[in-house]
Amino acid sequence: MYESFYNLHAKPFQLSPDAKFFYNSRGHKRAMSYLRYGITQGEGFIVILGGIGTGKTTMVQALFDQLTDEGVIATKLVTTHLEADDLLRLVATSFGLSDDGASKAALLKNLEAFFIEKSREGKRVLLVVDEVQNIPVKSLEELRMLSNFQIGGTALLQIFLLGQSEFIQTLQADGLEQLRQRIIASHYLKALERDEVKGYIEHRLTSVGWQNDPSFDETAYDEINTYTSGVPRKINTLCDRLMLFGYLEEIHEFDANVVKMVTSELQGEVGCVQQEDLVLPRQETKVSQKLVEIEQRLCAVEEKAGGLEERLTSQRSLLARLWPLSRGS
């Protein structure tokens, strides 16, 4: 909608991850270096954690784009509380293998055969597990077992674990000592600094043909940084609405006042949703009570109707008996 108004060839602040928008901030650059280091090592675990919306998924997509010509077979899992056997099946299917209801032993055998085949072809295999904070301890131990596959002393599988800070507590579990020992590098992604917020916004705008229209003054960047705390996903949400607001109001210069008008709208919308969340359960209770009352009334009507039907049937029977007598007289 606002793209043509500002002469952009695409939306710069879409929420879905896209590698072309990857911004190499100081934190992301360090995290990417650890991932690249892990690939060169070809063994062990690399752990990258960070808050919600800090750009972990976009970074991995950017990494995958770089790996296309490096002989690396890579796949990514987004997990949601998968048990050990289900996780193995998901790993197998993600690498294009069929499970066909196979047993755990058969799955492991098929995966090992696949890893060996790729190794003989001179290729490395990379498994990236996103949202790792959701994985049960037993499933994590299964991942460690997968990392045991070797040929000639060389590991056949490299594993990257991405997730939120809750995973730090999971790692402290008694049964994960061997996994902890196999982590060769880890990094925690923090929110962007104030100067990086400006760089991030301009990077995304430039990626879609921005020619300083609209312009952002320093007070606008300050206000965006304050409202979003430097979290990339929050920046995307705010700036997308800011661009829409600018289009509707035909604004070509953004300052703190314009940003505040948009943040006020966003806060108002959140407030409305929260109020609806509080009111709706009460309304649903009243509706449920009303439905019960109506159902009770319908039952009473049905009982009365049933009684009337019985009386009507009796009257018809009596009339049928009397009708021949009246004709005979």
Q: What is the pLDDT of residues 1-24, one digit of tens each?
A: 899 999 999 999 998 889 999 999
Please state, in angstroms and rounded to a whole number, the distance separating the CA atoms of residues 73 and 124.
6
What is the DSSP secondary-structure string of 105-149?
HHHHHHHHHHHHHHHHTT-EEEEEEESGGGS-HHHHHHHHHHTT-
CA 254 to chain centre: 31
pLDDT at 70: 78
Listed as ranges, residues in the chain with pLDDT below 70 are 80, 270-329
Q: E-assigned strands of the chain? A: 45-50, 72-78, 124-130, 150-151, 154-155, 157-163, 183-189, 215-216, 253-254
Q: Is residue 305 part of a domain?
A: no
CATH of the domain at 93: 3.40.50.300
Q: What is the DSSP letter of 171?
A: H
Q: Prior bond to 281 cis, omega within 30?
A: no
Is residue 96, in this structure, part of any structural domain at all? yes
The β-bridge partners of 132 are: none
SS3 state of residue 66:
helix
Q: Which residues contact 213 (CB under 8 A, 6 or more apart)?
A: 6, 7, 252
User: Which amino acid, one-letter code, is at 224?
Assistant: I
How many domains are contained in the chain?
1
> What does the pLDDT read at residue 66?
85
Considering the domain boundaries, does residue 32 fall inside one?
yes
Whose tokens are 């590698």? That residue is 19
The CA distance from 256 to 217, in Å, is: 8
84 within a domain of the structure (yes/no): yes
Give residue 230's region: left, alpha or beta (phi > 0; psi -120 to 50): left
pLDDT given at position 284: 43
Residue 63 contacts residue 201 (beta carbons within 8 Å):
no
The whole-number pLDDT of residue 292 equals 45
The Cα 84–Cα 37 span in angstroms is 28
pLDDT for residue 324: 54
State whether the Cα torsion 179-186-170-84 is positive or negative.
negative
Q: Which of 5, 4, 62 is nearest to 33 (CA)?
A: 62
Asked whether residue 171 is domain-assigned, the answer is yes
Structural domain for 47, as ranges: 26-189
- Total count of residues recorded for the chain: 329
